[in-house]
Structure 1
């Protein structure tokens, strides 16, 4: 499994609306080819910063299938207006799984 980790910084005082938009977007990911999980975490030390963590079966499920879909456009329409700057996106794979 590949994890997409997006660091998202939102505009001040938009937390509740942003989190509601992410909840609304969950079905877009549920039906995406190869999407295995999604969660969003809020950074305690920097409250305007979130980490979106999405599990994908393959890198291409994210970079080709989802990014090329209408659902990606719907995702960006729901949350893009909250971004204070473009998200920083990286992909990881587990190399050691402790416990």
Structure 2
């Protein structure tokens, strides 16, 4: 499994509406083939900054299957208007498991 880590930046004044929009989008990820987990993390130190952490079976499950789906279009319609800049996305895999 890999994780998609997307750094998102929004206007802090829109935080409640943004989080509500992300919550509305959860079913689109939940039903996506190859999607195993979904979480939105809010920065404590930098208002308006978030990390979206999504577990996928593979990079292709995210970049090909999901990105080509109606679910992705729905996700972007819900949250895209909040983005101050394009999300910064990485795909990561475990390298060292400490404990």
Deviation beyond 4 Å, 4+ runs, structure 1? none
TM-score normalised over the length of structure 1: 0.97
Q: Does 2:55 match 1:55? A: yes
CA distance in structure 2 between the partners assigned to 1:15 and 1:48 by the alignment: 7
Partner residue in 1 for 2:26 = 26
> 1:37-56, aligned counterparts within 5 Å?
37-56=37-56
- Please give the per-residue CA displacement for 1:22-70, whole angstroms capped at 9, x wherever unaligned: 0010000000010000001111111110000000011100000000111
Q: State the Cα RMSD in Å.
A: 0.7
**Residue 8 of structure 2 aligns with which residue?**
8
| Superposition TM-score, scaled by structure 2 size | 0.97
Aligned residue in 2 for 1:66: 66
The gaps in structure 1 that reach 5 residues or longer are none
Structure 2 unaligned regions, length at least 5: none
- Aligned pair count reads 99
| SS, match of residue 53 in structure 1 | strand
